Amino acid sequence: MTEDTPVKIAVLRCDTVSEACPGTGCFKAFNERRVKFVDYDNNTQMVAFFTCGGCSGRRVFRLVRSLQKNGVDVIHLSSCMQMKNYPECPHIDTIKKTIENAGIRIVEGTHH
């Protein structure tokens, strides 16, 4: 990657939580380069914001392959997948392994 090549990131979030959360916290943190987005420069692009598809994370494999083909460098696991005050994700380890197997770097968290 050259300095002119943007870093492409995606955010994966919990399908259950998405019914109550429009994602504004994730986008605000990214736009302001705060919390888990603090190390990105202005050349970084958020190119995808998607859900797991519900338990058992059924959409992750298919969507990660698509993101891989489109040059995504990093996938952030949203705060709702990481924190104790949200529904616990029983499939987080499998989801992480799927992303890692695709060769895409994982960052745990977004705006918390």
Per-residue pLDDT reduced to its tens digit, 2-34: 568 999 999 999 999 999 999 999 999 999 999
Full set of structural domains in the chain with CATH: 8-108 (3.40.50.2300)
36, 76 contact by CB (below 8 A): yes
Task: Give the model's pLDDT for residue 3.
Answer: 67
Task: Give the model's pLDDT for residue 86.
Answer: 80
Task: Give the model's pLDDT for residue 108.
Answer: 95
Distance of alpha carbon 41 from alpha carbon 39, whole angstroms:
7
Task: Give the model's pLDDT for residue 85.
Answer: 80
pLDDT tens track for 48-101: 999 999 999 999 999 999 999 999 999 999 988 887 888 888 999 999 999 999
Distance of alpha carbon 38 from alpha carbon 41, whole angstroms:
8
